[in-house]
Amino acid sequence: MANIPDAEERKTGGILSLVGGIIRDASELISKEVTAAKLEMREELENVKSTAVLMGVGLVALLVGVILLALMLVYLLQEYAALDLWVCYAVVGGSISLVGIIVLLSGKQRAAKTNLVPTTSIENAKEDARWITRSVKYDTK
């Protein structure tokens, strides 16, 4: 007679084929999740880069303007307050320094909110891993 697999051999082959398919699907899914994580990180880095360039250009323009305004304020203060020139420089310099400290602290808080970890992709990968675990547990029984 011909080699006809009995029911037990078909069942074992079917389970092995099913588990093999699940493993291939899991491998493909993990590969796609890694690709998604890379894209998410690249996108976030592009946002950080463009923000840094804009802030740099703005900072240079602001610096030039502040220097010119500070010089104007020094001489204006000397003219109308009848103070020595060095006192006027101290008052204007101290005021600008205080504003600078406040701005730097606010920038530090904003920078702390930036997250370079691809949280969405990580959560999706965890959910996929849970789904695969459940599928393997139920399909092998």
Is it the case that residue 134 has pLDDT exceeding 80?
no
> Are 116 and 44 a contacting pair, CB within 8 Å?
yes
Confidence of residue 27 (pLDDT cuts 50, 70, 90): confident
pTM of the model: 0.43
Is it the case that residue 15 has pLDDT exceeding 60?
yes
Q: Token pair of 48, please?
A: 């950080």
Amino acid identity, residue 38?
A: K
Confidence of residue 1 (pLDDT cuts 50, 70, 90): very low
> Are 78 and 85 a contacting pair, CB within 8 Å?
yes
Is it the case that residue 62 has pLDDT exceeding 60?
yes
For residue 113, what are the contacts with CB-CB under 8 A and spacing of at least 6? none
Between CA 26 and CA 24 the distance in angstroms is: 5
pLDDT mean across residues, the chain: 83
